[in-house]
Amino acid sequence: MRLTAITFLALAFAMPAHAQAESAPVTPTSVVAEAAPEEWVSIAPEDLLVMELAPDAEGKARRVVIQLIPPPFSQPWVENIRTLARAHWWDGTSVNRVQDNYVTQWGDVTEEKPLPEGVVAPVTSYTQTIDMGGDPVLAGALTDAFEAVTETRYYWSTGNLDQFPRGDSYADVTVHAYGWTLATSYDTDQIWPIHCYGYVGVGRGYAPDTGTGAELYTIIGQPQRHMDRNLAVVGRIIDGMQYLSSLPRGSGELGFYTEEEAHLRTPIVSVRLASELETPPSYEYLDTRSESFARYVTVRANRNDAFYTVPAGGVDICSVQVPVRPATS
Amino acid sequence: MRLTAITFLALAFAMPAHAQAESAPVTPTSVVAEAAPEEWVSIAPEDLLVMELAPDAEGKARRVVIQLIPPPFSQPWVENIRTLARAHWWDGTSVNRVQDNYVTQWGDVTEEKPLPEGVVAPVTSYTQTIDMGGDPVLAGALTDAFEAVTETRYYWSTGNLDQFPRGDSYADVTVHAYGWTLATSYDTDQIWPIHCYGYVGVGRGYAPDTGTGAELYTIIGQPQRHMDRNLAVVGRIIDGMQYLSSLPRGSGELGFYTEEEAHLRTPIVSVRLASELETPPSYEYLDTRSESFARYVTVRANRNDAFYTVPAGGVDICSVQVPVRPATS
């Protein structure tokens, strides 16, 4: 399939400032708070990874919860990660790298710990073939995106710049689907998950090595999205992100802790699938097809309340973090 | 002046992958390392603010260096900041707010410390009128941007999508000038500095309060660029950023430390202009008009080396951090 149009996230949600001023000021937080219960989607326990770091200097527990990305994305690595968690492979490993404005990375510092049987680096692509017929959720999201770009092209071709496109710097088309942030381009039938703050990816060596999933990182600064399509995005941190983002930066190459800084490596006590825990935590995300989510994006792109007086008229897809919260039922 | 065209940072630097593969792989770091000495510009000592935080738990010094933004941008606040520094006003204040994926903020936690004479919140705009005739540096940068958009519009109007625009999500036009990241729009004669990782802005109350500059913040995650044009950008951290980004997050509203967390507030020992120090530190930045800077942007937008095999073909303006280093002469 050749996509015949390109689009921009912000355009679909552009709204003149005067249209907002007539109603009561709303914020992204207030929109999410008012979402209906049926607009929230439960996250399955086998899609939740619970990582217990060693307590901090004051003895406080540090629990990090990762939501794994659903099919059709990055599944060979996600399966490896479930195998590693079931084997308790990460227990006793550590956080070994913290590079400012880039990533925090964890795994086996010795690089010699044997992997469970069957865990090998997949020989596969970081992108996924779009199935417009067999995947109605994705097809719906992409159709909306195509409509927006058709309008955009019309305005441009007629020289009318009263309404004009803002864009994503890294991809022709960005969409939210399945509660995730995805990107595609006009001349391919491939779609891929992108790197945003708190997203989790698979560390690896030089290409074509794709990594196994034993070595993981999360984005702790401005997402460097040239990583998209070059590394496997396998999940995102939905709780406890601050325990990984506030660690002391390593002074070695690429932010690895040097041998003199070995005491700064944060021990990982355990990593478990929530489905293996006796009292599993439980989370839900705001359905990205819901009316509240659309409203949330609009408000994010057009902040206009007592604090913000100049609405941007657009928003970076990574600044539209999909709302996730502990399950209420 | 009404700007008649819009542009996209990435387009001007788009380069097909095969064009790069023929030469030896280069990285952003290697391009900067090879820049000629005359491509570097010294930063004046009165544009450098040196903040000494209390030593860390291991007794190590924590020095943070801020480069103040040059004219014509945000100068009423910058002047206030120089006055506050000369009055040693920040000595004995503290870092009071650390909100994950947002900002670290410092100033007087009591909000009652008297300000030096003359330091009041400016009644002015966060944007600056473009002076194409009197400001050749800015005029040059904008002219290049307009050329790129003219080409873009031609491709769009003819339905030719072999080369097509990527964009910025928040502004029609983004440019580097004077070593800074700026934005403008097609229908205004205003230009403004934007919020990127490590950039420093002025805290304030509800609009139309613009803040004095006594309360400052820096961006420690994905830049939330809806702040652009709503808050004053006055500088950026060019050394010691890790001391502000790795602080424990506050659990109070907006990431402020609660009273129970008062011990987490990092004391500020002193803040001085480098021009007031006996042995001032000295820095230089890569001229954003230089050939090496243009090459640096191109390589950032088209990573294609032993690690990255799928070049993005574009880059976010905030991921094109202007290289700054300790002065070499």
Mean pLDDT of A125-145: 88
Would an 8 Å CB–CB cutoff place A239 in contact with chain B? no
Q: Which residues of A touch B197 (CB under 8 A)?
A: 101, 221-222
Chain B residue closest to A126 (CA)? B310
pLDDT in tens, B222-241: 999 999 999 999 999 999 99
Tell me which residues of chain B, numbers 72 to 111, contact chain A at a CB-CB cutoff of 8 Å.
98, 100-101
Beta carbons of A5 and A153 less than 8 angstroms apart: yes
What pLDDT, on a 0 to 100 scale, did the predictor assign at position B24? 67
Residue A187 pLDDT class (50, 70, 90 cuts): confident
Would an 8 Å CB–CB cutoff place B114 in contact with chain A? no
What pLDDT, on a 0 to 100 scale, did the predictor assign at position B144? 82
Mutation for testing the B interface, residue in A11, A226, A308, A324 having most B CBs under 10 Å? A226
How far is residue B325's CA from residue B238's CA, in Å, rounded to a whole number? Answer: 8
Q: Which of A57, A170, A196 sits opposite B312 (nearest CB)?
A: A170
From A85-99, A109-123, A261-275, B153-167, the region with the lowest mean pLDDT? B153-167
Percentage with pLDDT > 70 across chain A: 87
Q: Is B170–A316 a contact, with Cβ atoms under 8 angstroms apart? A: yes
Beta carbons of B235 and B178 less than 8 angstroms apart: no
> Tell me, what amino acid is at B29?
T
| Nearest chain B CA: its distance from A118 CA (Å) | 25
CA A58 remoteness from chain centre: 30
How far is residue A101's CA from residue A249's CA, in Å, rounded to a whole number? Answer: 10
Residue A148 pLDDT class (50, 70, 90 cuts): confident
Q: Which residues of A touch B15 (CB under 8 A)?
A: none
Would an 8 Å CB–CB cutoff place A242 in contact with chain B? yes
Helix axes B136-157, A136-157, angle to 10 degrees: 110
| Nearest chain B CA: its distance from A316 CA (Å) | 5
pLDDT in tens, A68-85: 999 999 999 999 999 999
How far is residue A308's CA from residue B121's CA, in Å, rounded to a whole number? Answer: 17
pLDDT in tens, A267-283: 999 999 999 999 999 99
What pLDDT, on a 0 to 100 scale, did the predictor assign at position A284? 98
What pLDDT, on a 0 to 100 scale, did the predictor assign at position A329? 65
pLDDT in tens, A16-32: 344 444 456 789 999 99
How far is residue B36's CA from residue B194's CA, in Å, rounded to a whole number? Answer: 28
Q: Which of B221, B308, B314 sits opposite A169 (nearest CB)?
A: B314
Beta carbons of A97 and A105 less than 8 angstroms apart: yes
Residue A142 pLDDT class (50, 70, 90 cuts): confident
What pLDDT, on a 0 to 100 scale, did the predictor assign at position A34? 97
Chain A residue closest to B307 (CA)? A206
Would an 8 Å CB–CB cutoff place A24 in contact with chain B? no
pLDDT tops 50 at residue A227: yes
Q: Which residues of B touch A15 (CB under 8 A)?
A: none
pLDDT < 50 stretches in chain B: 1-22, 163
Would an 8 Å CB–CB cutoff place A169 in contact with chain B? yes
Give CA separation, B96 vs A97, B99, B137, B202, B269, in Å. Answer: 27, 10, 38, 14, 14
Mean pLDDT of A222-245: 98
> Tell me, what amino acid is at A125?
S
Q: Which residues of B touch A10 (CB under 8 A)?
A: 169
How far is residue A163's CA from residue A10's CA, in Å, rounded to a whole number? Answer: 11
What pLDDT, on a 0 to 100 scale, did the predictor assign at position B173? 84
Tell me which residues of chain B, numbers 218 to 237, contact chain A at a CB-CB cutoff of 8 Å.
220-226, 228-230
Three-state SS sequence of B264-279? HCEEEEEEEEHHHCCC
Would an 8 Å CB–CB cutoff place A172 in contact with chain B? yes
